[in-house]
Chain A
Amino acid sequence: MVWPRPRRLGAEEQARHTGKRYAAESRFKMVGLAAVLTSMGLLVLLLSTIVGQGFTAFWQTSLSLDVNLDAAEIDPQGTRNPQDIMAANYAGLINDALYAKFPEVTSRSDRRDLRGLVSVGAPGQVAQYVLDNPDVIGTTQRVTVLTDDVVDQFVKGKIDRDLPESARPISDQTIGWIDRLEQDGAISSNFNTLLFENGDSREPELAGIWGAIVGSFWMMIIVLALAVPIGVSAAIYLEEFAPKKSKLVDLIEVNINNLAAVPSIVFGLLGLAVFLNTLHLPRSAPLVGALTITLMTLPIIVVATRAALRAVPPSIRDAALGVGASKIQTVGHHVLPLALPGIMTGTIIGMAHALGETAPLIMIGMVAFIVDIPSGPLSPATVLPVQIYIWADSPERAFAERTAAGIIVLLAFLITMNALAVILRKRFERKW
């Protein structure tokens, strides 16, 4: 081949050419930097949107009312029997307190709107208050009850009062009442403990994530108990014991790599067909969710554990075998302890992944509307990400706020787990 003879450039031309190349260089660098900044900006946007939406859900608007806790209504016999106290008509007492506060409201429809200021959970709150303090029966007490979710959203400024009346879910009249109550200091904002005590509810102001957290807890316990021993064992076998030329081992290797790439929803189909329809395990139970998620998490743990085992230098194994240890003793006494930090890091990351998984759990019925706090791995439950999905689907405005709050709690768990993994890696990382 004949190479073309390079043309010799003049000094000026040369400088221009070099300048062009350097300009291209800095353009390329800027484009790369822009890509990194865009990615980081997108994360900031994502997190700030969610925190901005959700942090207000940690406070809930309450209304203080002077309720006449009439002895004739609550405890006509004077027995202080808790069942009688619970059975009284507290809704009526609260309504009377509201009517007394706004004596000018007389028409039936207006009074209905007025009653709508307080949450449907308010009578239960008053009942609990009376039950805890039986001495107040027969007196008039200032009781703090939850407001309805629309009032709550208005007080938090999430509903624009300048909109025309027909375009917002709250009437001018109601806004007038709320303004008067605010002037009287009857409206207060308290830390939302119900969010961390209740299960799901149709009423946004009563809905909490505790049921979902407990469901997630049961599920993760079982995933931990199944996925970690099986995953670590499988990795030990493949890395330390598997014969190098074996069809079975090759098959297992290919399988594990492929399973790691199978979409999570396919595992949901597997769980539905095998655990629910063939083995007839209970629907919506954390046990079934855990079995499904375990199959999904196993490949992650196997891959991480193998990497950790591979990082232990062969000289350690040779030394142990050289002084007469058996293969099992070599692995059990020397390789495994040295690989443990890496295994734990991989396991935590796998568990964090499992905690955030949603799609397969929808398939096996964990989207059911469940109010009760699950009592064990077999009782119907939902988990945090699925609860987030359920709320995100709800039309009420106040649920958007709850959804974001649920996400904040979920992300807090995940970030804690990931931080733990990073600390473990930093603390125990060894260079051989």
Chain B
Amino acid sequence: MISSQAPVLIPITFLFAAMLIPLVGAVHRAAAHLTAVLGSALALYFSVVGMQATLAQGRISYHIAGWMPPIGIEFVLDPLSAFICALLCGITFIVMVFGKRSVEYEIPQKEIAFYSLSMLLLGGLAGMVMTGDLFNLYVFLEIGALAGYALVAIGDKRAVVSAFRYLVMGTVGATFYLLGVALIFISTGTLNMADIAQLMPLVHDSPAVIVGLVLIVLGTALKMALFPMHAWLPDAYTHASTTATALIAPIGTKVSAYVLFRVLFFVVDPDHLRTEMLNLLQVIGYLGAAGIIWGSIMAICQSELKRMLAYSSVAQVGYIAVGIALASPLGFIGAILHALNHAVMKCCLFLVSGNMRMRLGHSSIPQMNNGLRKSMPWTSAAFTLAAISMIGLPPTAGFFGKWYLALGAIEQSHWIFLTALLISTILNVAYFFRVMERMYLKPQEPGAVDYSEQTVARNEAPASMLIPTLFLAISLLVLGFANAWIVSNLIVPMIPGWL
């Protein structure tokens, strides 16, 4: 029963929670956080049920108000959207549990607005993942984006400026997307993705369709911060509050990447993609490869932990773009697996930076020393594990995404992509070991004579923040060991048949 309604229940749950939180918060302040946690837990439950049903019986399609697909709006849960949806609901639940103390500390008096907006953001993103209609996707994209701008603006003093920059870039992206949809609508006369996919072979030569696809790819690339269009991302991530960053960074760009997957692999005519549109894929891939190198180099130059992680996100989006550009089963697996791994590890790293801000008051790398290891042993351990995973050392999850991408690049003899992957691994080592060296080895200031355990008080983050961080860190190991199971059971069913 629930499973057949799951596609529409998940966004509705988030949107309903977003409306409920201001009402509940007006009665009792603390209840706002509880509602957000319960809302995301409910959505997580629905998404898990939906994913099980999808794997058991295939595609679930929900028709809004009973109107049949080519005319009515369709919500679809197929293996790909079910997977991405479960991922974003899971991350949201963990971040919401984490959020209580962090939000109270960083943005006091704004909790109710914050939780309401974060539910609205998730409602928009979940809707983007579920919908089977290109225009509906635009509406959800704007719901999520507007909530995202406001979430970024609730931050430190400079956050308003970075939120404004984010808004300008995001609106350009959404406008390009809408123009692209217009051109495709003019040529095919329908907005339903499955319907367009059927009609595409008839019109794929028309210039309008090609320009439309390029505009859609351009708009989505702006939203997912593909290399030359990433300028909004570092500022927005740095100045927002930790919880907002931990929500937007792992999920926001992934959902835009999902739209790219959906349009390129499920809407465009496969034969056409293989021949003429290949240039478009190549451009995406080379931009991704350039972004991998550029993001990693910029990350080395940063002195603030959150800013470094933001630039590293630019690089990680590049991996997904490379996976899309390979357009082979291995590339597809690599890109999806990397989206999962990156969401978990980047979320974990941002939570670590939140823990540091809570206890040290800063997350500036030059000020760190080995007192950190003594005062916050668990946080440091979580950071180390996530950093190892980001670099891509074998038992952790990060390795396997890169491994499939590298195999895909070798299979098609794309040596430029392979080189970019290898160089970026070395650069990742450089910027993560720089932090770990300070965290574990650099002695404290010479003024403090005694370096023994007694001088540094144990000052770990509160349990409600520490447990989510550790949970994410440990799940990186679990994901790493379970990667064969995840690939064969979850990712292989979602590969389109023609690939």
A and B found bound together: no
Using a CB–CB cutoff of 8 Å, the interface residues on chain B facing chain A are none
